[in-house]
Structure 1
Amino acid sequence: MTSVGNQDANFSVCSQLAREAARKGCKMLFLPECFSFIVSCLQTVVVAEKLDGPIMSRFRQLAGEVGIWLSLGGFQEVGPDKEHIYNTHVVLSSDGTLVASYRKVHLFDVEVHNGPVLMESRSTAPGNQLAVCDSPAGRLGLTVCYDLRFPEVYQRLAFDHGAQVLLVPSAFTKLTGEAHWELLLRARAVETQCYVIAAAQAGKHNEKRESYGHSIIVDPWGNIIARLDNSLATGIAVADIDFQYMASVRERMPIGDHRKQGRKCLGWDAR
């Protein structure tokens, strides 16, 4: 999707996508970072709400009406002070219950070469805990966007917390997306032998900001099994999660066991 600075307009798009997913028989829909709002850092702070506020209540109602689980990839949650929010990934069940939340740990403070200067820490405080939850799509490991560049997060989610599906909702810049988006997502899948679901913002949100798009789903062998054509600003890519296939990949190449052995040889902890 291409979020804008109008929460009502963004909710309308999310509602459309949820209903389309339900019509296609999906058990769960994964929405990208900034699904409800995207403009400037200062405006982001102004619109921040608590997780029991009116915006999240609308999405809880939507989940219940449509009968589908929702991964809400990056919500502007009220932060620790007046100047900062939390960038929070929320999972809702099909009856609207808040099942899990994760506050983004790694903040994007980067001057993109020949691109924008983005200083997320000016308006966002980092979280300090990992999050997993069970869902109809399997055991989910929650992350957000820039976390993708830190593989130890995904290894901890998979090997320590039993995640089967790693979520990477994002609003990647066009330049960094063209260089590294698919490469990093496939690497995280291969390293952990998990499915990776990466819902992405796409296109121009305003005069100053553009996102790369290319939402994809990757299987535990690193194959892309669903991809959203980037010429479509709004839409969904659909795939099945096959736990037998995941088990066969892990049986043929038991990375988890070998990881434990390697850490023991190196004198590291059992993780």
Structure 2
Amino acid sequence: MPASSPRPSFVAACVQMRSTTDPAVNREAALAGIRQAAAAGAVYIQTPEMTSLVVRDRKELFAKVSDQVHDPLIAAARELAREKRITIHLGSLPLQENDRIANRAIVIDAQGEIAATYDKIHLFDVDLPSGESWRESATYTGGHQAVTVPLVVGDVTYTLGLSICYDLRFPYLYRALAEVGAEILTVPACFTRQTGEAHWQVLQRARAIENGSFVISAAQGGLHEDGRQTWGHSIIVDPWGRVLAEADAEPGVILATIDPALVTQARSQIPSLRHTRLFSLPGTEGDNVVPLQPRGKDA
């Protein structure tokens, strides 16, 4: 039988933003960035964590959020995805969930349908040396489900693994996503300037190298209206850990070509996904083993 044809490359984009406390302003900025990326040839376009609203005050946050069904950015992005025949990944939006808020990614396919949602699993409860203190768990409800989603480009399917911001510091999540087939890991973020300057790029490259996967991460950048400073530096990394594109701190768009052959190449050269083994922890007498059994193939 003839060998199957290699899957074609495609162009991916990150829309870097500096979201304000006004959801309408942020909506127009996000849509403008998505249109710019689509005009440049991108068929998968990602926006940052908290695309629709960046605000510290809890009361103001609750006053300005919508639920998923009524959120105007989701509705507008669905129309735009259908119009341009592109996949739009809203990196995350704060969405009303009863008396709490979900930090939720929304992936919209080229037909304008919601293909997947993902709620941020790891919440940022941290006191930084700069004096900044963050307690996401006071406002947000954490997710419990890892998510992959098909990314369909023409008649070819790729697999995205979803995550958000602070998830980046938990490598077992990305290994699990890779083991069930994710070739492209996504980390839309609103990283603080202090932690981003120290750790952002090295963690992005590490997640790519560990899993032989592309990593695509749109970020918030600069001094925001609510007083916080974010690192920016939206980034696209290939499976060998090479940075294909990286922004600075200013709003804008970055693009890179995603060649799926590089996933196969990296995973063949360093087949760590095939080498996962069970092991026990000291004092457990074999009762507990980590990590989980491999659940995917080394594609």
What is the TM-score when the length of structure 2 is the normalising length? 0.84
Counterpart position of 2:37: 21
Report the RMSD for the aligned CA atoms in angstroms.
1.7
Counterpart position of 1:63: 81
Give the drift of 1:142. 0.5
Match among 180, 183, 194 for residue 164 of structure 1: 183
CA contact (8 A) 2:149 2:160 kept: yes
CA contact (8 A) 1:42 1:123 kept: no
Counterpart position of 2:167: 147
Counterpart position of 1:248: 265
What is the TM-score when the length of structure 1 is the normalising length? 0.92
* 1:69 counterpart letter in structure 2: T
Q: Which runs of 5+ in 2 are unaligned?
A: 1-16, 295-299
Match among 249, 263, 267 for residue 278 of structure 2: 263
Runs of 4+, deviation exceeding 6 Å: 264-267
Counterpart position of 1:88: 104
Secondary structure (helix, strand or coil) at the match of 2:253 reads coil
Task: Name which one, 1 or 2, has greater alpha-carbon Rg.
Answer: 2
Counterpart position of 1:192: 211
Task: Count residues with an aligned counterpart.
Answer: 264
Match among 191, 213, 221 for residue 232 of structure 2: 213
| Deviation digits for residues 122-174 of structure 1 (CA, Å, limit 9, x no counterpart) | 11011110111011472000100000010111111111x21010000000000
Q: Distance in 2 between matches of 1:264 and 1:16?
A: 50
Q: Distance in 2 between matches of 1:24 and 1:6?
A: 28
CA contact (8 A) 1:27 1:136 kept: no
Distance 1:113 1:264, change over 3 A: closer
Q: Distance in 2 between matches of 1:148 and 1:54?
A: 27
Distance 1:5 1:207, change over 3 A: closer
Counterpart position of 1:45: 62
Q: Which runs of 5+ in 1 are unaligned?
A: none
CA contact (8 A) 2:87 2:109 kept: yes
Give the drift of 1:11. 1.1
Q: Distance in 1 between matches of 2:202 and 2:105?
A: 23
CA contact (8 A) 2:238 2:262 kept: no
* 1:53 counterpart letter in structure 2: H
